[in-house]
Each structure stands twice: as C-alpha cells, then as structure tokens.
Amino acid sequence: MAIITLPYHYLERLTGVDRNLIISRLPMLGSDIERVEDDHVDVEFFPNRPDLFSVEGVARALRGFLGKETGLPEYRVNPSGMKFTVDPGLATIRPILGSAVIRGVSFDEEAILSIMGLQEALHWAVGRGRSKVAIGIHDLDTVTPPFHYLASERTRKFVPLDYEHELTMEEILAQHPKGRMYSHVVNDFPRFPLIVDDLDRVLSFPPIINGELTRVTTETRNLLLDTTGTDERAVRTAVNIICTAMAETGAVIESVEIEGMRWPDLSAAVRYVRTNDCNRLLGTGLSPDEMAALFRKMRYGATPAKEDLVRVEVPCYRSDIMHDWDLFEDVAIAYGYEQFAVGISPTFTIGKPHPVYGIGSLVRQVLTGFGFIEVIPFTLSNEAVMFTRMHRPVPDDVLRVMHPITEDHTLLRTDLLPLLLEICQLNRHRELPQRVFCVGDVVRGVDTFQKTAWVSIHPAADFTEAYAHAEAICRELALPFTVGESEDPAFIDGRRGDILVNGNPAGMFGEIHPAVLNAFELEHSVAAMELDLRALPGYPGSPGTP
C-alpha cells in the first residue's frame, strides 16, 4: 500500500485550494483517506497511479480535477551536455539505465521528505522491491561527468551512505542495513552494478546504496538522477514521475545522453479514442467536446478530431494508460461517479442454483431435522488433527501448502469428522448433549468435492444412535446403500460400519474409539458418521478440478 502524507500548507500552496475542499474531493479522484491530522492528511493512492505518490503529483491532479488548471502539463527538457557510458557486462545483470539532471532545486525539509517518500513508494510499486527498478538521487555538484555505469568487481571499496569508512561491496551486502535488506537482488551475480564519475569516484551501488560522497542536503541545488533496472518501461516510468514532480516545484530538467539516447523524454504520447466507444462503456451520452473537456480536467491534452474521434495527449507520467478503457475510466472520474444515472440492464436470464449447493441445502435440511447444529470449520488443517489424533494413516494424496504460516494450517482437510471432534474439544465446557454437523468442501489430490459429517457427544451416545441416524439420513437422501463391517481405526472395533454405494465405500459411522476421544480430550462417548456426497444421485461429474 502506498500511503502518502500530504502536509496541508504545502498542498494548499501548490494547489491554491482550501484543505477542506481537498479532503472532501480526494476520494472521488480515486483514493482512500487513511487519517486526517491537524497539519497533514495521510492518503492511500492506488498502485496503478504512482504519479500520485508525491505531494507535487497530487497537487497537479487536484488542480485539474478542481478546475484550477486543466489540460496537459508541459515539461521542457534542455540538453545538459553530460553523458553516461554503460558497461556491456551489465547486459545479464541489470542492463537498463535511465538518468536526468535536475537543476535549481530548493530543498526545504518538506520537499526532501516528499521526494524521499516518492522514491520509496516507487521502489515498492514500480520497482517491485528494487528488483525491477531502483532510484538514486545525487548532488550533481560533487561529481565530474561523464559518468560510467559499470559491472564491477565485488571487492571494490567505497564509503556507503551513513558510513564514515570504506567497505567492499560484499561487506556492504553483509553489514549495511540496506545491503542486508536488498542483497537478494544482486547476490547471485559474479559482478555488481556500480556508478562512478570520470574520476572513478563512486556515486552508487545500485540497487543497494548510494555513496556518502553525493549525499543530498538542504544546501543541494542540482541533482543527478540514476535509475537502474531490468525493465525499460518501468525505468522510464520512474524517471518520468520523479522529473515531472521536481519540475512542478520549479526545477529545470536537463537531459543526459546514455549510449546515444537522450534521457528523459517527457513528451506526451498521443492516442485517438472514439466518443461512441466511451459512451457505450459508460452508458453516457457525451459529445466529443464534452469528453475532451473531461479529459482536460484529468490533465490530458484533448481536442476533438474528425467524426467522433478525440485526440488525447497522455502525460509522460501516466504509466497506467495501457488501453482505451483506462482513458474512459478517467472520463468517468472527471464526470463524477456520484453523477451517474444507475439502471439495471434488460438482460433476461433465469436463476439457477448449482447442483452441489442444492444438495448441500437438502443435507442441511435433513440434519437440522434430526436436531443437529451446524458448524463451519476451516478447510485448512494439520496432520495431527486430521490423522494422528484420529489414529488414521496419512493418505498419499493429501494436499499440503508449500509455505504454511502456522503449524495449525499445513494441509487441506480430507475429512470433516476430525474437525467436528476438534469443535467438541473447544466446547467441552458447554452443555451436553452436543450434536453438531458440517457440510463442505474437502480436497484429495487437487480435486475439491463435498462431504457431510455429524457427531453426537453425550454420556449415552453409542453405536445404536450412530447406526439409526446413518440409516435414516441415507434413507432421507435417497441413497441406495448397503452396510458392511468397517476397519476404520477411528471407531471401536465391532461398533463401526462402512456405507457402501454400488459396493464402493462412501462413508462410515459408529462409536468413536476411546483412544481418539483421549486424543481430543473428550470425556464422553461420541456417535458419528461421515458421508461423501459424490455418492448421492444428482451430484455432478467433476466440477472441482483445476
């Protein structure tokens, strides 16, 4: 989650709008207000809009949304004359480099906090924890161009940020807090990414840590941006978002030449969209002029073209615009979600329950008719409950999750009966008799299907109760069954039966074995039954297969 802190007076300065109006309208732009404080508001913006991860970006969007300044924000880029070389050895390590020079910044504490917050949010949302993109910001006046992006020896030494002495890059990964946090991104490579200036002084060890040399302070006036990564589109997004946010504060952006290409390119992308497509999607009746005006409110350049086409200029920081519908959503937001007429489509269909749930409902009717109370335990369970305490062997096809969070939840339940006994254990102090049942999914292999089970715990629970109820339930469910001697170790020998349908086992019933009662810390006898609902007439083929 990207939670952005918006200090009121900075935001008011950038937008020229009162804080109360901002707070009331922000949610309708697409955000969740997390906390309203005396001097700031914390707002969660959606991960598809990293351009809103800075106060400057939010102000830019709000100015449009609130009608203070609409249309495409234009960003000039002057050549800086500076160059970057890229070592071909990085091709298999971290090949993409983006950069820019940002001049004339005037950093007060709020601006530094905002830009650091933006950097962190971008690392999370665009950079995937720095693996896809990592951003470094340097004091340009401490270094000498041209700059060099290298695949360096792992033993190269420099003074990392917040340190006073030199460490090798390997030591940084082992000792520096940021090194330990992000070492997994580079640790497997024979050489490490490194950025140096023309005097071979270290600016940065991307994506881990900058050098102390280029530390940014409130005195810093000119910045060099390095953005490295594995995906060019993501690197471009990060560079554009940072540069345009800085330009919003009045800084001047200059380009850097990297292997013959000029970075950054802050020009808008042009798309043509049809007003009719938009109206069809939204159920609106907008004219091309109206739609263009709504686009401009969302900071696009927009002019009606021939027929129902609108020419849309997409700002360079809008990395989320992949498809026409992304643009139409912004039309809807500008139009106002609260303004939409709501109506149900005339689509005619007939409601139809799924047979599996239909059977489940009938089973519930039957079992509540016998006086059982329903419970709905977790489907995640563990070997101890499912098999060990039941004195049952572990089947081969039990499905285990790969990275369980707790010992309680390591596998998917194969049966319901153990979970009912666990519920009885939880309710030991409650009045007897307790008669509970459950209908629900179990998993064998990768297949999901439904079972039902019931238990009855009280001093007089016995095989007779189990058999009588099992017979009655099967009868009510129209199950053509026979009963055979069972060998299920969860039940007492001589007091257990298998329910057979067409000669195949479909369930069992009986009196629970005292050793199992002991394992579940139960003090009274238990009559029980479990039934595989696939045996029922009308249960569909195999709806639960991946």
Which residues inside 125-184 make contact with other proteins, applying CB under 8 A? 128, 132
Q: What b/e sequence results for 351-389 when a residue is b if at least 16 CB atoms lie within 10 Å of its CB, and e otherwise?
A: eeeeebeebbebbbebbeeeebeebebebebbeebbbeb
Binding residues for other proteins, total number by CB under 8 A: 88
Measured CA to CA, the distance from residue 539 to residue 546 in angstroms comes to: 18
Contact between 371 and other proteins (CB under 8 A)? yes
Single-letter amino acid, residue 133: V
Contact between 434 and other proteins (CB under 8 A)? yes
Q: How far is the CB of 49 from other proteins (least distance, A)?
A: 8
**SS3 (DSSP) at 151:** strand
The site string for other proteins over 19-48 (x = CB under 8 A, - otherwise) reads --------xxxx-x-------------xxx
Q: How far is the CB of 404 from other proteins (least distance, A)?
A: 8
Among 67, 81, 146, 369, binds other proteins (CB under 8 A): 369
Measured CA to CA, the distance from residue 63 to residue 17 in angstroms comes to: 8
Q: How far apart are the first and last CA of the chain?
A: 31
Single-letter amino acid, residue 526: V
Which residues, 229 to 288, sit near other proteins by CB under 8 A?
231, 233, 280-284
Q: How far is the CB of 100 from other proteins (least distance, A)?
A: 22
Measured CA to CA, the distance from residue 212 to residue 207 in angstroms comes to: 15
Asked if 525 and 500 touch (Cβ cutoff 8 Å), the reply is: no
Q: How far is the CB of 62 from other proteins (least distance, A)?
A: 14
Among 324, 383, 462, 476, binds other proteins (CB under 8 A): 324
Among 354, 388, 394, 504, binds other proteins (CB under 8 A): 354
> For residues 384, 390, 392 and 395, what is the CA-based torsion angle, rounded to 10 degrees?
-50
Q: How far is the CB of 368 from other proteins (least distance, A)?
A: 4
Single-letter amino acid, residue 232: E
The site string for other proteins over 396-425 (x = CB under 8 A, - otherwise) reads ---xxxxx-xx--x--x----------x--
Q: How far is the CB of 434 from other proteins (least distance, A)?
A: 6
Q: How far is the CB of 478 from other proteins (least distance, A)?
A: 20
**At which residue do the structure tokens 């064998």 appear?**
444
Contact between 4 and other proteins (CB under 8 A)? no
Cα dist from 522 to 6, 68, 325, 517, whole Å? 58, 71, 60, 5
Among 109, 341, 485, 503, binds other proteins (CB under 8 A): 341
Measured CA to CA, the distance from residue 108 to residue 508 in angstroms comes to: 75
Among 333, 362, 479, 483, binds other proteins (CB under 8 A): 333
